[in-house]
Amino acid sequence: MVLIFVELDNGSIKKTSLEAVAYGAAVAKASGTTATALAIGTADATELAKAGAYGATKVLHANAAELANENAMAYASVLAAAVKNENAEVVILPKSGLCDAMGARTAAKLGASIVSGVTELPDVSNGFKVTRSIYTGKAFATVDVKGSVKILGIKKNAIEAVEGTGSATVEAFTPALNNGDFVAKVTGQEKASGELSLTEADIIVSGGRGMKGPDNWQPLLDLASALGAATGCSKPVSDLDWRPHHEHIGQTGIKVAPNLYIACGISGAIQHLAGVNSSKVIVAINKDPEAPFFKAADYGIVGDVFDILPRLTKAVKDAK
């Protein structure tokens, strides 16, 4: 049996978790078994049943009051209890800060194997081999996973979450938790408002030093607004305070994996690419045809950003 942890955001299943369900369902199919999802926290049954459209046949819902706020220790205990309850052999975790923290704790509780950064479906034809991304996406390693319980943390965009017509039953799950699960108590959570989260965004428009200064961002913001995109930047841009630090993308900044990443006036240094190389489609706009970003991009536009951006924005608006 394959168990998938689905992460909730204000009662809705996150997109990355729907990808994890699709991934888990594909693993279950290849192994001749079924996929069950586990959700922790407040959500209504109709929302949770959505996991059925991505391949889960059952959703376990742990919704005790003390689990309302994300708590990696307690959530790991719930996940470990669900693994035992369902006799799960494979556990799938989407990529997120919470899941990274839960994965290691769950593995320790169960004495399970854990592999993170998994990029493809496992090869179950001879053992259980997975490919994982290493060295910030510059190389891949194949791991033969042993152990009766295998926990896989999957990278964003490892699989396309295609909505099908399947349905899932939703069952309450109430494992016994003890005080030790709540030694670190989350007393409240506040979400940044008004901006799209870079890690969840489908589209990101990002700017580098080629934008020339903090007062020149409007053409980039206009394109982002027309596309419903989040905005990001290179490290020097945030170091220079042209843009806020939470927009800094790359090896030392946020790692993103949108469906579309548009890089405007960014050279494409390896430290920047390390944060964007999981994007599905990359478009680079640069006036230098030799800019390294063009080697990593799916589409390249050679030109001046201040000429190209307004034309792109107009084209997007006209197409609507």
Ligand X SMILES: Cc1cc2nc3c(=O)[nH]c(=O)nc-3n(C[C@H](O)[C@H](O)[C@H](O)COP(=O)(O)OP(=O)(O)OC[C@H]3O[C@@H](n4cnc5c(N)ncnc54)[C@H](O)[C@@H]3O)c2cc1C
Known binding residue 266? Answer is yes
Stretch touching ligand X by CB under 6 A, among 22-30, 101-109, 116-124, 283-291 = 283-291
Applying CB under 6 A, which of residues 163, 167, 304, 315 lies at the interface with ligand X?
304
Q: 168 or 233, CB closer to ligand X?
A: 233
276 contacts ligand X (rule: CB under 6 A): no
Q: 84 or 311, CB closer to ligand X?
A: 311
Binding mask 172-211 for ligand X (x = CB under 6 A): ------------------------------------xxx-
Q: Can you tell me the distance from the alpha carbon of 122 to that of 80, in angstroms, rounded to the nearest whole number? A: 22
Give residue 31's identity as a one-letter amino acid code. S
305 contacts ligand X (rule: CB under 6 A): yes
Known binding residue 218? Answer is no
How far is residue 158 CA from its own chain's centroid?
Answer: 10
Smallest separation (angstroms) from ligand X to the CB of 157: 19
Known binding residue 209? Answer is yes
Smallest separation (angstroms) from ligand X to the CB of 149: 35
Q: 68 or 254, CB closer to ligand X?
A: 254
Applying CB under 6 A, which of residues 71, 133, 234, 277 lies at the interface with ligand X?
234
Stretch touching ligand X by CB under 6 A, among 2-10, 98-106, 166-174, 245-253 = 245-253
Interface with ligand X (CB under 6 A): 208-210, 234-237, 250-253, 265-267, 269, 271-272, 275, 285-288, 291, 304-306
